Amino acid sequence: MKLRATITLLSAATLMQAQQPAQTPAPPSTAAEPAQQPDLTPTDQGYSITARSTLVLVPALVKDKSGKLIYTLKASDFRLTDDGIPQPLRLEEDNGGQPLAMVICVEVGGAGRNHLHDYDGLGPMLDNMLGGIPHKVSIVAFDSTPTLVHRWSSHLDSISQTLASQDPGDSGGAVLDAVNFSVNLLRPVPTTYRRAILLLSETKDNGSHTTLGQALRAISDTNTAIYSVAFSSNRVEEAGAASKLSSDEPGPDHGCFSHDPKTDKVVKTDGSVGPAEESKGTQYFDCAAELAPPLVLARMAEIAARNLLRKNISESVAKLTGGESFKFKDVKTLDRDLFTIANHIPNRYVLSFHPQNPHPGLHAVSLTLPNYDHLTIEARSSYWVDDTTTATPPASNAPVTPKQ
C-alpha cells in the first residue's frame, strides 16, 4: 500500500451518476460545486442512500502491541464479513490526493461554553490537517439547536476566525441533533469528495430530538468518518442524560420486540418470590435469536450500537463510522489530539467491497487480520442500506440562517 504524508479521509458513499442535482435541508453552499452529485432519493425531510448504493468503504487503522502504525499489509491480509458472510475486498492504493469535505461540529452551549477559548489558535493545526489537499470546510455550532455558522469554504483563515469568534450558547448540548445536521450537510457533496466530521463536544447528549434509531441510521448510511475530540460534562445530572434520549420502538406491533419485558418478580405457587422472567437485555437477545441468519447478526449489531450510543455519544459515533475518539481538557491536550488525528488519517487503509444482495437496514461488519494475532485493527462496525420501496426519511433538522 502506498501511503502519503497528506491527510486522507473517508471517501464518499456512492460512485453512481446522478439523475438530478441533489438538494439538502441545509443552506446552499456559496462555493462552486462540480456537476457530479451522489445518487440520492429525495424525501420530505432530506435524502437517504438507497439499496442501489453498492459500494461500502471501510477505513482501517492497524497497530502493533506497542502502538506503532503498520502500513505494509495487502488486501489479501484482511478478512471482512458482512452479517457473517465473507466479502471480496479491494484496497485503495493511493487516494491521498482526493479532495475532502469536512464539517467542523462544535458545541457552544452547555459545558462547551467553558471551552470556546480553546479554539482561538486552531489555524495552524487545521492547516496541518487540510492544507496539503483540495478541501472545503463548513462549521456547525450547536447548543440546544445546531446552526450553520460558516458555509462551505476552502479559506482556512476565515474558518479559523469563525471558530475563534463563537459566542456562548444556551445550556443545551444536543449532540445527536448536531451530528445529524452535519451528516445532512454532507449528503449532496459530489462523490469526488471524501467526507468527514470533526466533532468537538461533550460525551453526553442534552436535549436532542433525534432518536437513537434515527441517529444510528444517519451515521451509518453515508460513508462519512467522524473524528471526535470530547470534553467531560460538569453537570450533576450527566449520569442520567442518556436515559433522556428519545428512543424508537424496537419492533412492529405484536412483534417479539413490541411488548414490555416481564421484569416483575415471579410469585410461585407456594407463595415464595422468585426472580423476574426476563430483563430488557434478555428480551432483546431472545427476540434476536428468533431471526434467521444473517439477520440475527444485523439485529444484534443494532442493539449493541444503540446501547453504545447511550453510554458515550462522541466515542460511539467515531467507533461506528471507523473514525477515532479522544478526550481533551485544555488547549495543550486538544492540539495533541488533533495532531494524532492528522498523523493517523493518512496511514489508514481504505478498503471497499460490494455487498452481495444487501438487505435493507443495518449490516454488521467485521474486519480482521487472521494471520496477524499480534496486530490490532480499528474499523467501522456497521453500515446502513435503505429499502427503496418502504424507506422512511432520515431525521432532519430545519435549516438555520448562518450567523453574520
Model pLDDT for residues 332-365, shown as the tens digit of each residue: 999 999 988 888 877 788 899 998 877 888 888 9
What's the pLDDT at 129? 82
Confidence at 158, pLDDT banded by 50, 70, 90: very high
Residue 88 has pLDDT above 80, yes or no: yes
Among 79, 56, 359, 363, smallest CA distance to 225 is for 56
- Rounded-to-integer distance, Cα 39 and Cα 59, Å: 21
What's the pLDDT at 145? 97
Task: Dump pLDDT digits (tens) for 25-47.
Answer: 343 333 333 333 333 333 333 33
Q: Which of 33-42, 92-101, 124-133, 388-397 has the lowest mean pLDDT?
A: 33-42
What is the DSSP annotation of 262-297? --SEEEPTTS-EEEES--HHHHHHHHHHTSPTTHHH
- Rounded-to-integer distance, Cα 42 and Cα 9, Å: 26
Task: Dump pLDDT digits (tens) for 254-291.
Answer: 445 444 445 455 555 666 666 554 454 444 444 544 44
Confidence at 9, pLDDT banded by 50, 70, 90: very low
Mean pLDDT of 141-156: 96
Q: Which domains does the chain have, with CATH numbers?
A: 41-241+308-385 (3.40.50.410)
Cα-based torsion angle of the residue sequence 103, 347, 379, 58 in order, rounded to the nearest 10 degrees: 70
> 3-class SS at 327?
strand
- Which residue's entry shows cell 452481495? 356
What's the pLDDT at 298? 60
Mean pLDDT of 287-297: 50
Confidence at 140, pLDDT banded by 50, 70, 90: very high
Residue 318 has pLDDT above 80, yes or no: yes
Confidence at 401, pLDDT banded by 50, 70, 90: very low
What's the pLDDT at 197? 94
